[in-house]
Chains A and B, each alone.
Chain A
Amino acid sequence: AQSVTQLDSQVPVFEEAPVELRCNYSSSVSVYLFWYVQYPNQGLQLLLKYLSGSTLVKGINGFEAEFNKSQTSFHLRKPSVHISDTAEYFCAVRRTDSWGKLQFGAGTQVVVTP
């Protein structure tokens, strides 16, 4: 079985400052890794994914994440946040041998203030 741990439940950050959201996972098999974002009163949308290849993955809205296999981590970063980045962020994993089931972390609420 897989598990996903998001180490921070809430991250306050000032506008134009950098932000890092931490995600660690455990799995006995190979996994794909995802970050989703949920804006207020909306469903989730995909920010980025790691499937294979380069460990640095770039996504939408200026976000990027780095896969570290030895530390089983997939941390999300943005060098300069905007007010509009206020949202909840979810890390998720999926077994490479399964067709769709995702295991989600508990989520990290990012609050950007001026």
Chain B
Amino acid sequence: DVKVTQSSRYLVKRTGEKVFLECVQDMDHENMFWYRQDPGLGLRLIYFSYDVKMKEKGDIPEGYSVSREKKERFSLILESASTNQTSMYLCASTPGTYEQYFGPGTRLTVT
């Protein structure tokens, strides 16, 4: 069965902290994605990766960076968290066909 896991379901951080969100997939998928989900805005793509050490900016990359050192793991990094980064963060992966498989999400609150 397909499995995408995210390191935390809920996270509370302070303004200015460096935050790491981890995503792991066990399906040997090449492509991985980070989205943020906000009410009324749907899902917006932050970054994606189509191979190990390869990454591309999505629609809203400002304030974020990513790391993909191994095929199964894709990390989202908030270099200096701000309150406007309070959101739900969703990771997804795909083998390059049609369906994206999503993790359960991390609800991040920055105070």
Contact = CB atoms under 8 A, between A and B. Distances in A.
Interface in A46-90: 46, 49, 51, 90
Contacts of B33: 100
A106 B104 contact: no
A32 B98 contact: yes
B4 A43 contact: yes
B27 interface: no
Interface residues of B, number: 24
B96 A43 contact: no
Contact of A106 (B31, B40, B58): B40
Given A32-B98, A49-B98, A100 B90 contact: no
Contact of A44 (B41, B48, B102): B102
A9 interface: yes
Nearest to A4: B42
Contact of A100 (B40, B43, B96, B103): B96
A106 B41 contact: yes
B45 A49 contact: no
Interface of A: 4, 6, 9, 32, 34, 36, 41-46, 49, 51, 90, 94, 99-102, 104-107
Closest A-B pairs by Cβ, 8 of them: A43-B102, A104-B42, A104-B43, A106-B42, A44-B102, A43-B104, A100-B31, A46-B99
